[in-house]
C-alpha cells in the first residue's frame, strides 16, 4: 500500500509542477530564483537524459512501458521489510509514469528545474535518480547482512 501511495504522491507532484510551470511560462523563458544558481526554465526535451537520442519518441514510450512492467513484476517479489528497495522502485515507477505521461500527451517531456551547471530536468527525473540511490542503499544493506555471522 505504501508503495503505491508514494508512487501516486510523487507522480502528482511531478505532473502538478509541470502544469504550473507550463501554464505560467513561455517555452525557453527563464525565471531566476537564486540568480545564476537556480532558475525555473521551461523547455521541451525530445530526448532522454541530457537530451540524448532526440526525437525517438516511440523508442522511449516502449522503454517506459517495459520499465513500468518490470517494476510492477519485481515489487511483488520484494518483502515489505526491504524498505529501501521498495522506496527506490516506487520513486522510479513515479518518474517513469510522469515522463511517459508527457511523451504520450505532448510528444516530449517538460523540464524546468535549472541549476545552471546541469541540464534542465524535472521532478520525475529527480525521482528516478533518488530511486537509484535508494536501490543502491537497499542492496548495500542486504549485502552487509549476508556477511554478518548468524
Condensed to tens digits (0 to 9), the pLDDT of residues 97-148 reads 999 999 999 999 999 999 999 999 999 999 999 999 999 999 998 876 655 5
d(CA 42, CA 45): 10
Of 14, 102, 114, 125, which is the active-site residue? 125
Phi, psi of 31 (to 5 degrees): -110, 115
d(CA 89, CA 99): 15
Q: How many CB atoms lie within 10 A of CB 108?
A: 18
125 is an active site residue: yes
Condensed to tens digits (0 to 9), the pLDDT of residues 65-90 reads 999 999 999 999 999 999 999 999 99
Q: How confident is the model at residue 49 (pLDDT cuts 50, 70, 90)?
A: confident
d(CA 90, CA 105): 22
| For residue 92, pLDDT beyond 70 | yes
114 is an active site residue: no
Tell me which H or E stretch contains 113.
strand 109-114
Of 14, 102, 111, 114, which is the active-site residue? 111
Condensed to tens digits (0 to 9), the pLDDT of residues 95-105 reads 999 999 999 99
- The closest alpha carbon to 45, from 115, 117, 122, 143, belongs to 122
Please count the residues of the chain.
150
Amino acid at each position: 500500500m505504501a508503495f503505491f501511495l508514494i508512487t501516486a504522491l510523487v507522480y502528482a507532484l511531478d505532473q502538478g509542477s509541470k502544469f504550473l510551470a507550463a501554464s505560467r511560462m513561455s517555452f525557453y523563458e527563464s525565471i531566476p530564483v537564486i540568480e545564476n544558481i537556480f532558475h525555473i526554465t521551461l523547455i521541451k526535451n525530445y530526448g532522454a537524459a541530457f537530451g540524448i537520442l532526440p526525437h525517438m519518441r516511440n523508442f522511449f514510450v516502449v522503454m517506459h512501458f517495459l520499465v513500468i512492467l518490470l517494476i510492477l513484476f519485481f515489487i511483488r517479489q520484494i518483502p515489505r521489510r526491504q524498505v529501501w528497495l521498495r522506496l527506490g522502485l516506487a520513486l522510479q515507477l513515479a518518474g517513469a509514469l510522469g515522463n511517459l505521461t508527457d511523451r504520450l500527451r505532448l510528444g516530449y517531456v517538460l523540464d524546468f528545474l535549472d541549476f545552471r551547471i546541469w541540464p534542465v530536468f524535472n521532478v520525475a527525473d529527480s525521482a528516478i535518480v533518488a530511486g537509484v540511490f535508494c536501490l543502491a542503499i537497499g542492496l548495500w544493506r542486504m549485502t552487509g547482512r549476508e556477511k554478518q555471522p548468524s
